[in-house]
């Protein structure tokens, strides 16, 4: 199905960026997280707590790592996975086990699903790439059933005594890996900027509460450069 709505100019540029890096996306995520990315995605899937026979939506699924982890964890549930990049979806749909997942092109700003359609919503690295975080979270609140959970993996700016050396490492390592591995320094320079320029977990938590979510919790990973946040729909 076609994506819903027309992406903004920034959205179109981000879409082109992810189309360019599709072939290297999984490898780069492994390298940039020293192999921890897949484990964090499994942690997100576990936090979704999809009931037997329930349904889950993974937004900005990329190459489907969270969606595939959810499918393995909840074999009796239905997993939907959406992304605005057709190339990412094609890569995800070609993986082992992918035939059991319902893949669809869609925009996180305008989800093509009815109110209260899912028992859980997950996403990885979505919010740092959207223009209106609150609106995107409102869409997720809308499609969640009462009592449903949202669980997300995001980057966050490091804090504390290690802040400056970690920032320096991010500024140097990510574009360098992009140049050496993906031959695309420009795309990974953008990812480096969005990593360091995104919100703190406290700021994301405040938006979640403002939208209407409750039971907001978060934990940091990887020297404070990543966070996993969960919340429930009242």
Q: Which residues are annotated as a binding site?
A: 63, 83, 107-108
Interatomic CA distance for residues 184 and 204, integer angstroms: 30
DSSP assignment string, 93-145: HTSTTGGGSEEEE--TTS-SS-TT-EEEEEEES-GGG-S-HHHHHHHHHHHEE
Phi/psi at 64 (nearest 5 deg)?
A: 80, 20
Which has the closest alpha carbon to 221: 83, 42, 72? Answer: 42
In terms of Cβ atoms closer than 10 Å to its own Cβ (0-12, 13-18, 19+), residue 34 is exposed
Q: CA dist 134 to 33, 41, 93, 127, 159, Å?
A: 27, 23, 29, 9, 24
Please check whether residue 229 is in contact with residue 152, taking contact to mean a CB–CB distance below 8 angstroms. yes
Please check whether residue 121 is in contact with residue 57, taking contact to mean a CB–CB distance below 8 angstroms. yes
- Residues annotated in the binding site for S-adenosyl-L-methionine, as ranges? 63, 83, 107-108
Neighbours of 28 (CB within 10 A): 21
């Amino acid at each position: 199905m076609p994506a819903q709505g027309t992406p903004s100019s920034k959205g179109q540029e981000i879409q082109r960026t992810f189309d360019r890096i599709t072939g290297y996306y999984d490898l780069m995520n492994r390298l940039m997280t020293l192999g921890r990315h897949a484990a964090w995605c499994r942690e997100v899937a576990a936090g979704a707590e999809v009931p037997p026979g329930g349904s889950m939506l993974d937004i900005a699924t990329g190459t489907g790592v969270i969606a595939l982890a959810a499918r393995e964890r909840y074999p009796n549930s239905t997993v939907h996975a959406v992304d605005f990049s057709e190339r990412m979806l094609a890569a995800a749909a070609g993986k082992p086990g992918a035939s059991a997942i319902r893949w669809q092109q869609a925009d996180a700003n305008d989800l093509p699903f009815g109110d209260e359609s899912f028992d859980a919503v997950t996403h990885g690295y979505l919010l740092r790439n959207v223009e209106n975080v609150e609106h995107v979270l409102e869409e997720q609140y809308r499609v969640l059933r009462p009592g449903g959970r949202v669980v997300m993996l995001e980057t966050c700016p490091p804090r504390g005594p290690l802040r400056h050396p970690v920032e320096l490492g991010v500024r140097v390592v990510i574009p360098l890996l992009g140049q050496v591995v993906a031959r695309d320094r420009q795309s990974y320079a953008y990812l480096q900027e969005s990593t360091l320029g995104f919100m703190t977990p406290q700021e994301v938590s405040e938006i979640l509460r403002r939208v209407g979510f409750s039971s907001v919790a978060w934990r940091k990973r990887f020297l404070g450069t990543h966070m996993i946040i969960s919340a429930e729909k009242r």
